[in-house]
Chains A and B, each alone.
Chain A
Amino acid sequence: MALFTPPPPEADELPAAAAALPSPRRRRRRGSGQARSMLRSPMVWITGVAVLWFAAAFLVLPNLTLLGTTFFPDGQFSLRAVEKLVGSERAMRTLGNSFLLAVTLSITVNIVGVFIVLVTQYFRVRGSRLLWLGYATTLIYGGIVLAAGYNFIYGRFGFVTNLALNIWPDLNRDWFSGYFAVVFVMTFATTTNHMLFLSSSLAKIDFASIEAAKLMGASTWTILRRIVLPVMRPMLFAVTVLTFLIGLGALTAPLVLGGPDFQTVAPLIVDLSRSPVTRDIAALLAIVLGVATIILLAVMNRAEKNGVYFSVAKVATPIQKQRIPNPIANAVVHVLAYLVWLIYLIPVVLILLFSFVDARSILAGSITLDSFTLQNYITVFTTPDAIRPFVVSVVYSALASVVVVVGLLFVARMLQRYRNPLTSLIEYVLHIPWILPTVLIALGLVMTFDKPNAWVGGAVLTGTPMLLLVAYIIIKIPFTLRLLKAAFASVPDSLEDASRILGARSLTAFRRVVIPLVIPTAAAITALNFNSLLDDYDAAIFLYHPLYKPLGVAIQESTRGENNLDAMPITFVYTVLLMVIMGLVMYFVYGRGSRAGGPRRPSRAARRGGETRA
């Protein structure tokens, strides 16, 4: 899922990362004697050894194996894989397609993304709350689920296609396929980053500066162009890079909707990795993807350092929505806003509807009152084969998200508390999954653990249900670590000092004072991790065990060809269930306070801590 639609909060890592950086003052105060106290603590020893083992075995080794397979196939350096890649027309074409997709999306997603942010947050548009809810559907619905949904509506055997065929019998069944379809779907599916980050950077504009510009006679358009957009520019740039990466590594949308004419790199990697003969090309393509990602993220990091992000005002006035004075422009904006809203909403509404409709009616393209039934839900909940993928995914996601949060609770505390070369190294290594595409991580794991491996006690993990769990844990490490570190950093040092001076030992202070403040954040992270793993496809397709087929794979299979059409209503039910679960999780994590916020403030307790200080 990570490559198609990064789960919304994932990119929230950016602001969280900034928050996690300890201030120089804080670090200095901790100066003397800390290395000694670090070595004295048994908790640090256990945490340290565990994290070093995990990092070496699962973060470093697989990537080395991948490089080894590609460039040292027989123990000697060889560029054979490169030659094979360059010689393969198909591979080169997919590379070109991926690049084309990335460039296109960088433009289209920005246009749609900026537009929806402006109409929900900046301009006074009627019903903006309703609009927001429509645009926000991508928060609860993305990746393979979304691609499958569009396919079942506009695709070869989709309802809209069937409906249209009743009217225009000559219509090409594959009208919604190829470059156009992929771009269309991904454009509307990947605006989540805009929704989250651009909104928050817009909210940080000092409204007084807009008022000042107005007093000086600037028009709405001038203010937008000269004041609002420039303030958002660094964030816009960051979001563009993320969008580019999403396009470059896109897996599910091209797989489901690309058709024969528009294949991209990630699906090809999946394909090539199945055969030992072409596996080295798959690895090389994954490496190309990885290198591109690393370069772009480095560029983004550099650019971020140069940007003045937020208002320089000490007390910024909160932004107020602007009226569009020109009535024609106002009308046009309203019409466009609701058109876009319909595009977002149609698949969601239809899926909800179709989950209550029998398959034959959908295929015939004619739905009557008699078509409505609860049978699809009954089938899913009473047929073991149908409910199984759902249960498998729930178990995997729950296990992985709990393990990663509990484990990193200790690691984050260690990293936050002790700053030295070793902890810095650990922190860097733990961020490896952040800069690598899921496809590459998964492929590395497959190729590393397909033979007995000393790092895991001589076991073979490939082909066991274990490896997918490991992959899920790996994927969630950077996001979890950053937010947990930020959570620890938001607990004022003085609280621990205070409990120490009241007689509590370090561990007691951690348990009684720090942990209760971090728990709400940890719970929120667990929930978000669970959400984003639930419909994963990218890792599962490489690593799933045939007996434990996760939801993402099951859904993807249901989109393949006519034979699987029976599975279509079941997929609709899955999708509705997923949307309900994800919607609930989002509501509990973000919903009850303000809407556009991040897990930077999921914990009321931590916020209270901040207020106490002021």
Chain B
Amino acid sequence: MIRFDDVDVTFGEHRAVRGLSLEIQEGEFFTLLGPSGCGKTTALRSLAGFIQPTAGRIFIGDRDVTNVASEKRGVGMVFQNYALFPSMNVRENIAFGLAVRKTPKAEQRRLVDEVADRTGLAASQLDKNVAELSGGQQQRVAIARALVLTPKILLLDEPLSNLDAKLRVQLREQLKQLQHDVGVTTVYVTHDQEEALTLSDRIAVLDAGELQQVGTPEEIYDRSATSFVCRFIGESNRLTPAVLRRLRESAAASTAASDLPVLAEDAESYVRPEKVSVTVEAPAWGAAEGILSVDGTVEGRTYHGSHSVYTVAVDDARLRVSVPGSAAAKRWEPGTRVTLGIDPRWVLQYPEA
């Protein structure tokens, strides 16, 4: 449906996007994720036609749109600040694209009412001035304005970043539902990894203009392809060579099947906090399952409601371990000796840079 073919975007000296190649499937909810300045917005804006790539081609369907003007690409877009026209009311905003197409007035009314209904805008809001709407309502108008033209592709540039936390979560779900109902191919830009993980069918992680990994949320989180992705997505514990050595010793003592991965000692290694289990008694996990044990000392605890995070000192490393709330009845005070269990399959290793 959408194909980036070795796209480069350069601003003066600065290469904002480097050799980006991507393919996005029809109907997919696809997210470009990365820290600010990683080139995700630039990539989106080149897809919208606001930026001309310095090299490479962009295809929509089978059509090469690299040199096609924005208004002829058949894409809809929701801007970060919504870009509602302050000189027009809500209805006029939504109908703008239709008016430009010279759609008959009656038809415009019908389509606007329809899309307003679908995006959850009350009829009474249509005659309001856009400045009178709340942030969430403004966002609906922006989405309605894009969808009323039934674009094949919908581009969303951090549309939730201007909203407060609770509304953000609420609208996130509605957005996902809406996209599912409409079935429009959606390209979403965000720096919020939680948003990306919950919304997307697939995610592309970018850093410094370069594509790091494309995959499903699970792949991105559990099987991060590069150390950057691993560090950027979610939390992770860096395992020092000393800890790795301990784990290897534990593996040598184990009787588990030999098809378990062998941890390299000189690789950059991470494990996510919730993948580590913790106990003071004899480990509940059987050595046969291949779970490796290391001993440590509790240094502190932070409480997060649904879970607690313990900081455990192991040799020269401090590992954070996430323990679900249900198990929080057991509470370990600082200084308690504990045993940590780590499944080597959850350890992510990258060649030392």
Interface residues of A (CB under 8 A from B): 28-29, 31-33, 492, 494-495, 497-505, 508, 512-513, 516-517, 605-606, 608-609, 611-614
Which B residues are CB-close (under 8 A) to A492?
81, 83
Which A residues are CB-close (under 8 A) to B336?
none
Interface segment, B94-102, B177-185, B313-321?
B94-102
Which B residues are CB-close (under 8 A) to A32?
51-52, 54
Complex contact B77–A498 (CB within 8 A):
yes
Complex contact A613–B87 (CB within 8 A):
no
Complex contact A497–B70 (CB within 8 A):
yes
Complex contact A611–B149 (CB within 8 A):
no
Instruction: Please judge, given known A-B contacts A494-B80, A501-B75, A503-B100, whether A612 and B51 are in contact too, CB under 8 Å.
Output: no
Rounded to whole Å, the gap between the CB of A491 and the closest CB of chain B is 9
Instruction: Please judge, given known A-B contacts A494-B80, A497-B50, whether A503 and B85 are in contact too, CB under 8 Å.
Output: no
Complex contact B86–A612 (CB within 8 A):
yes
In whole angstroms, what is the CA distance A502 to B148 when docked? 10
In whole angstroms, what is the CA distance A495 to B88 when docked? 12
Rounded to whole Å, the gap between the CB of B73 and the closest CB of chain A is 8
In whole angstroms, what is the CA distance A502 to B83 when docked? 12
Complex contact A612–B100 (CB within 8 A):
no
Complex contact A612–B101 (CB within 8 A):
no
Instruction: Please judge, given known A-B contacts A516-B87, A608-B86, A612-B81, whether A501 and B76 are in contact too, CB under 8 Å.
Output: yes
Complex contact A500–B71 (CB within 8 A):
yes
Which residues of B (170-199) have their CB < 8 Å from a CB of A?
A: none
Complex contact A494–B83 (CB within 8 A):
yes
Complex contact A503–B83 (CB within 8 A):
no
Which residues of B (125-183) have their CB < 8 Å from a CB of A?
A: 129-131, 138, 145-146, 149, 162
With A494-B79, A494-B80, A608-B131 already in contact, 11 other A-B pairs whose C-beta atoms are closer than 8 Å = A28-B14, A29-B51, A495-B83, A495-B85, A498-B84, A500-B69, A501-B48, A502-B145, A504-B97, A512-B96, A608-B86
The size bracket of the interface on B is: 35 or more
Which A residues are CB-close (under 8 A) to B51?
29, 31-32
Residue of B nearest to A28 (CB): B11
Rounded to whole Å, the gap between the CB of A513 and the closest CB of chain B is 5
Which B residues are CB-close (under 8 A) to A612?
81-82, 84, 86, 130-131, 138
Instruction: Please judge, given known A-B contacts A29-B50, A29-B51, A517-B87, whether A500 and B70 are in contact too, CB under 8 Å.
Output: yes
Which A residues are CB-close (under 8 A) to B52?
32-33
Instruction: Please judge, given known A-B contacts A29-B51, A32-B52, A611-B131, whether A605 and B86 are in contact too, CB under 8 Å.
Output: yes
Complex contact B54–A609 (CB within 8 A):
no
Residue of A nearest to B157 (CB): A494
Instruction: Please judge, given known A-B contacts A32-B52, A32-B54, A494-B79, whether A502 and B86 are in contact too, CB under 8 Å.
Output: no
CB of B305 within 8 Å of the partner chain: no
Instruction: Please judge, given known A-B contacts A32-B51, A513-B85, whether A504 and B96 are in contact too, CB under 8 Å.
Output: yes
In whole angstroms, what is the CA distance A28 to B14 when docked? 10
Name the residue among B80, B85, B149 with the largest chain A CB count within 10 angstroms: B85
Which A residues are CB-close (under 8 A) to B96?
499, 502, 504, 512
CB of B45 within 8 Å of the partner chain: yes
Which B residues are CB-close (under 8 A) to A498?
77, 79, 83-85, 145
Per-residue contact bits, chain B 188-214, to A (CB 8 Å; 1 contact, 0 not): 000000000000000000000000000
Instruction: Please judge, given known A-B contacts A608-B86, A612-B86, whether A508 and B100 are in contact too, CB under 8 Å.
Output: yes
5 tightest A-B contacts by CB? A502-B97, A494-B83, A516-B87, A498-B83, A608-B86
In whole angstroms, what is the CA distance A498 to B49 when docked? 11
Complex contact A505–B71 (CB within 8 A):
yes
In whole angstroms, what is the CA distance A517 to B88 when docked? 10
In whole angstroms, what is the CA distance A517 to B85 when docked? 9
Which A residues are CB-close (under 8 A) to B73?
501
Which B residues are CB-close (under 8 A) to A501?
48-49, 70-71, 73, 75-77, 146
Name the residue among A508, A608, A611 with the largest chain B CB count within 10 angstroms: A608
Complex contact B71–A504 (CB within 8 A):
yes
In whole angstroms, what is the CA distance A614 to B96 when docked? 22
Rounded to whole Å, the gap between the CB of A568 and the closest CB of chain B is 49
Instruction: Please judge, given known A-B contacts A513-B87, A612-B131, whether A31 and B12 are in contact too, CB under 8 Å.
Output: yes
15 contacts between A and B (CB under 8 A): A28-B12, A29-B51, A33-B52, A494-B79, A494-B81, A498-B79, A501-B48, A501-B49, A501-B76, A501-B146, A502-B71, A502-B76, A503-B97, A503-B149, A612-B82
In whole angstroms, what is the CA distance A494 to B50 when docked? 10
Residue of B nearest to A25 (CB): B11
Per-residue contact bits, chain B 56-76, to A (CB 8 Å; 1 contact, 0 not): 000000000000011101011
Which A residues are CB-close (under 8 A) to B70?
497, 500-501
Which A residues are CB-close (under 8 A) to B12?
28, 31
Name the residue among A495, A505, A614 with the largest chain B CB count within 10 angstroms: A495
Name the residue among B14, B45, B52, B86 with the largest chain A CB count within 10 angstroms: B86
In whole angstroms, what is the CA distance A508 to B85 when docked? 14
Rounded to whole Å, the gap between the CB of B165 and the closest CB of chain A is 17
Which A residues are CB-close (under 8 A) to B71?
500-505
Instruction: Please judge, given known A-B contacts A31-B12, A605-B86, A612-B131, whether A503 and B81 are in contact too, CB under 8 Å.
Output: no
In whole angstroms, what is the CA distance A606 to B52 when docked? 29
In whole angstroms, what is the CA distance A504 to B99 when docked? 9
Which residues of B (279-311) have their CB < 8 Å from a CB of A?
A: none
Which B residues are CB-close (under 8 A) to A28?
11-12, 14
Complex contact A502–B149 (CB within 8 A):
yes
Complex contact A497–B131 (CB within 8 A):
no
Residue of B nearest to A505 (CB): B71
Residue of B nearest to A495 (CB): B83
Which A residues are CB-close (under 8 A) to B79?
494, 497-498
Complex contact B45–A29 (CB within 8 A):
yes
In whole angstroms, what is the CA distance A608 to B93 when docked? 14
Which A residues are CB-close (under 8 A) to B77?
497-498, 501
In whole angstroms, what is the CA distance A508 to B102 when docked? 12
Complex contact A504–B100 (CB within 8 A):
yes
Rounded to whole Å, the gap between the CB of A528 and the closest CB of chain B is 22
Complex contact B85–A497 (CB within 8 A):
no
Complex contact A31–B11 (CB within 8 A):
yes
Rounded to whole Å, the gap between the CB of A357 and the closest CB of chain B is 50
In whole angstroms, what is the CA distance A113 to B85 when docked? 41
Rounded to whole Å, the gap between the CB of B43 and the closest CB of chain A is 13
Which A residues are CB-close (under 8 A) to B101?
503
In whole angstroms, what is the CA distance A246 to B76 when docked? 55
Name the residue among B75, B83, B162 with the largest chain A CB count within 10 angstroms: B83
In whole angstroms, what is the CA distance A312 to B290 when docked? 57
Which A residues are CB-close (under 8 A) to B45?
29
Residue of B nearest to A515 (CB): B87
In whole angstroms, what is the CA distance A512 to B162 when docked? 26
Which A residues are CB-close (under 8 A) to B69?
500
Complex contact A613–B81 (CB within 8 A):
yes
In whole angstroms, what is the CA distance A483 to B320 when docked? 56
Name the residue among B71, B129, B145 with the largest chain A CB count within 10 angstroms: B71
Among B50, B100, B162, contact of A502 (Cβ-Cβ < 8 Å): B100
Rounded to whole Å, the gap between the CB of A183 and the closest CB of chain B is 48
Complex contact A605–B87 (CB within 8 A):
yes
Instruction: Please judge, given known A-B contacts A32-B51, A33-B52, whether A499 and B11 are in contact too, CB under 8 Å.
Output: no
Which A residues are CB-close (under 8 A) to B14?
28
Residue of B nearest to A518 (CB): B87
Residue of A nearest to B16 (CB): A28
Residue of B nearest to A33 (CB): B52
Per-residue contact bits, chain B 2-35, to A (CB 8 Å; 1 contact, 0 not): 0000000001101000000000000000000000
In whole angstroms, what is the CA distance A31 to B52 when docked? 9
Rounded to whole Å, the gap between the CB of B257 and the closest CB of chain A is 55
Rounded to whole Å, the gap between the CB of B126 and the closest CB of chain A is 17
In whole angstroms, what is the CA distance A502 to B93 when docked? 10
Which B residues are CB-close (under 8 A) to A495?
83, 85
Which B residues are CB-close (under 8 A) to A513?
85, 87
Residue of A nearest to B76 (CB): A501
